[in-house]
Structure 1
Amino acid sequence: MTDFTQTRQMFDIPDGMIYLNGNSLGPMPVAAPEKMTAFLRDEWRTELIKGWNTKGWWMQTNELGDRIARLIGAAPGTTVVSDTLSIKVFQAVSAGLAMVPDRKVILSDNGNFPTDLYMVEGLMRLKDDGYALRLPDPQDVLDNITDDVAVVMITEVDYRNGCRHDMKAIIEKAHHHGAVVVWDLAHSAGAIPVDLAGSDVDFAVGCTYKYINGGPGSPAFIYVAPRLLDTVEPFLSGWYGHESPFTFDTDFRPVPGQITRMRIGTPSIASFNLLSTALDVWDQVDMDDVHARAVELSDLFITQVEARCPGVTMASPRDPNQRGSHIAFRFEHGYACMQALISQGVIGDFRAPDIMRFGITPLFINEDDILKAAAVLEDILKNETWKEDRFQVRGQVT
């Protein structure tokens, strides 16, 4: 059993803050400053270029990938960490298109995170070969999987309302019609149990700065099914994925049969150090325990808000099996209300046009936090604190 009292102590949450935004950026592990200092002092400073060998920097992409693989139901040797999520989306979709060259339709949904769609739009312009991006409503994705679809690109958990797609159903139908599926696990990894191997996933990508708590802009990951590792074409290819990088050949030859072929360029070893520190916490955690606890806390929050906060409407599915680990509420003045909450130490975030999001992250959130957050929201709505001028000013980041 996961000890959530212990994991709470492993994160540095400022005094007086109730942090309900781990779905957007996870908090700092207590061990991070010392681990980073040790990296600067005992690795970069003393080893310099030797560190690629003496400190094992060269293969950290794969070692960290294997540690993340445990959280997403993947086998060792199928996941690698590097680059950004946007880059990994581009890499996975382009690899999927190469597997079905006679088809021209990429299927996603109009609720997908915009960057994923932007990356596909750029890829289509680059290929300039008649590709089309089909964007039905999220609930209509299954009906749009037809024989002309090359790649289905879906974010498992909707970034706005937390609604969860049926991974197995989409994969089963896509494979029946000969399509490849790419999953974005940005709001899944570290939030809900994922079974990539058992679901016969082709490709999956995700970030590590949300629930995994790797730090602002921490590196992304990509998963490739073992059956594809010897044939997948890394459309974005760099020396880090070459089978013999230090021969400095002018032609690219991917590492045969290994996830290493999906590496591109030299990664940030400093960022890897922070991610490794966060994974030290996750090494002690069972994902089924995390999900069960998140459901308990989420249901408590929903009950409290609906009983105490008139005018706020739930936007997330009520069935916990149909949602991720954040709860969304609609409120006409959601942005101002969220700013009022933040001013009182309850940290969530806002997504246009009217959604207030609250991440329910059991590693550092407990019942007392939930009850206090609901009480603060009740007070803000009752006293209409959100109407204050200072809460109407839009920041660059919402």
Structure 2
Amino acid sequence: MDLLGARAPTRDDALAADAADPLAGFRARFAGTDDDAPDRLLYMDGNSLGRMPLATPAALARVVEREWARGLVGSWATWIGAATRLGDVLAGGVLGAQPGEVLVGDSTTVNLYKLLVAGLDARPGRDVLVCCADDFPTDRYVVAEVARARGLTVREVPADVDAGLDPAVLAAALDDRVAVVVLSHVAYRSGALVDLPATTRLARDAGALVVWDLSHSVGAVPVELTAAGADLAVGCTYKYLNGGPGAPAFLYVRRELQEQLRSPIAGWFGQRDQFAMGAVYEPAEGIERFGAGTPPVIGMAAVEVGARLVAEAGVERLATKARALTGLAVRLADAQLASLGVRLASPRDEARRGAHVTVAHPRAWQLTQALVERGVVPDFRTPDRVRFGPAPIYTRFVDVWDAVSRFRDVLADRSYERFPEQHARVT
């Protein structure tokens, strides 16, 4: 799969890489991948919403038709521990964490709020929160609102929109006033990758906790939370984990920290003796103390299918392929798009890049619409970016080659000029 040695890889090179791909068999286990026509849909948005595993409908039907329809309330014997059971699947198979350190449920935003406030309360006397000025909006919004409610100071660390966060700039923002740092492992716009272990050590040396947002890395980039010494993390499951739209998120708390932290959202699924229905809230032991309301049982069934597929494929193998896929995209952008006014807007060094590649062009919004019309599905990111997210578990090298080829055609024939200049609401 090493296509990086070729100055301008050919389509035959891409086909040869597919023939040698040890993960090739996983493609057939996802919906919409059986069309091999020349005009087939080329899905390059797996980092926004992953494809549906073919096993997902049966998993949902089992919960709905058997456990709910026939088992009724008796099925809670199966459902009651699903959030921690699925958390252990993610911990061991995807996140490099220990059993009892991951909980599934709520959204990424809610989980971020819970861990941010819990971490803040565990650092009394510190009055500063740190985040990245170019981080995903919801992360910055949560940090800003917690700071506003508590009368704290926010230090938004600047970052290059293409190259990502400079560790030296972050280090300069850390001192004994910083309680919690919120950072994304992979930048949502450019794919720039932050060194998770080194950055965790940097914050810890300053006495601060880090809440990592793993949404754009989990399932495609090695995380290894235990080895990295990570304290806290959150992430979504509908991107590379293929859990479906609106799928429940997860949170991670290092075991040694769990008894020191208290979730700011007290709910009956975080209560020590849940069915005693006691008048006073007492947090449960372990990771379950970060539960709140009733978990989304149906959504978790879909997440489990995707998580087990990723675990079966192996994160290291997926990451190796992701580097090769994005490396191919970079080489092809240089060879086929640069002369037509497109600029690489992601780190060129694969060691500093996650699993997606972004390019810049002044008419990026229009180009995105024209690409969709041509059967290529990327996404647009402000201010002028087209982002390609080839999910390694089902995307082929020839798909990347053909997607860039169609991109070149759209640029060359200027068909994108037919589309109005406007921005869409994107998530």
The two structures have a TM-score, normalised by structure 2, of 0.89
Q: Does 1:212 align with 2:241?
A: yes
Shift of 1:104: 0.5
Three-state SS of the structure 2 residue aligned to 1:27 is coil
Over the aligned positions, Cα root-mean-square deviation in angstroms equals: 1.5
> What's the counterpart of residue 8 of structure 2?
none
Unaligned runs of 5+ in 1: none
Residue equivalent to 1:223 = 252
1:1-398 to structure 2, matched below 5 A, reads 3-13=22-32, 15=35, 16-53=40-77, 56-70=78-92, 71-127=94-150, 130-138=151-159, 139=166, 140-256=169-285, 258-309=286-337, 310-389=340-419, 392=421, 394-397=423-426
Alpha-carbon offset, residue 232 of structure 1:
1.2
Deviation string 1:242-284 (CA, Å, 9 cap, x unpaired) is 110111112111112x111111110111101111121231231
Q: Output the CA distance in 1 between the equivalents of 2:345 and 2:425.
A: 24
Identity of aligned residues (%): 34
Hey, what's the Cα distance between the residues in 2 that align with 1:233 and 1:46?
Answer: 38
SS of the residue corresponding to residue 83 of structure 2 reads: helix
| Mapped partners of 1:167, 1:394: distance in 2 | 33
User: How far did 1:164 drift?
Assistant: 1.1
Aligned-partner Cα distance in 2 for 1:119–1:378 = 40
Structure 1 residues 74-133: Cα deviation after superposition (integer angstroms, max 9, x where no partner): 111100000000001101110110111100100011011111111122222333xx3011
**How many angstroms apart in 1 are the aligned matches of 2:225 and 2:424?**
38
Is the 8 Å Cα contact of residues 220 and 392 (structure 2) preserved in structure 1?
A: no
Unaligned runs of 5+ in 2: 1-19, 160-165
User: Which digits, 9 at most, give the CA deviation of each residue in 1:319-366, with x for residues without a partner?
Assistant: 111111000100100011011111111111001110111002111111
Q: CA deviation at 1:13?
A: 2.0
Look up the SS of the partner of 1:197 in the other structure.
Answer: helix
Please identify runs of 4+ aligned residues in structure 1 that moved more than 3 A: 391-398
How far did 1:189 drift? Answer: 0.6
The number of equivalent residue pairs is: 392
Deviation string, structure 1 residues 163-220 (Cα, Å, up to 9, x no partner): 1112222211211111111111011111200111111111011010111010001011
CA contact (8 A) 1:2 1:285 kept: no
TM normalised by structure 1 equals 0.95
Partners of 1:371 and 1:175 in 2: CA distance: 43
Residues of 2 paired with 1:393 and 1:171: CA distance? 39
The 2-side partners of 1:320 and 1:150 are apart by 32
Equivalent-residue separation in structure 2 for 1:235 and 1:176 (angstroms) = 26
Compare 42-51 and 27-36 and name the one that shifted more: 27-36
How many angstroms does 1:392 deviate by?
4.1
Partners of 1:2 and 1:286 within 8 A in 2: no
AA of the residue aligned to 1:4: L
| Inter-partner Cα distance in structure 2 for 1:76 and 1:108 | 29
Does structure 1 conserve the Cα–Cα contact (< 8 Å) formed by 2:131 and 2:143?
no
Cα distance, 1:303–1:395 mapped onto 2, change above 3 Å: same
> 2:89·2:308 contact (CA, 8 Å) conserved in 1?
no
What CA distance in whole angstroms lies between the structure 1 residues aligned with 2:362 and 2:217?
A: 28
Residues 174 and 395 of structure 1: CA distance in aligned 2, closer, same or farther (over 3 Å): closer
**Gap change, CA 1:275 and 1:372, over 3 Å in 2:** same
Deviation at 1:2, TM superposition (A): 8.4
Kept in 2: contact 1:108–1:141 (CA 8 A): no
SS in 2 for 1:284: helix
**DSSP 3-state at the match of 1:21:** coil
CA–CA separation in structure 2 for the residues paired with 1:2 and 1:214 = 24
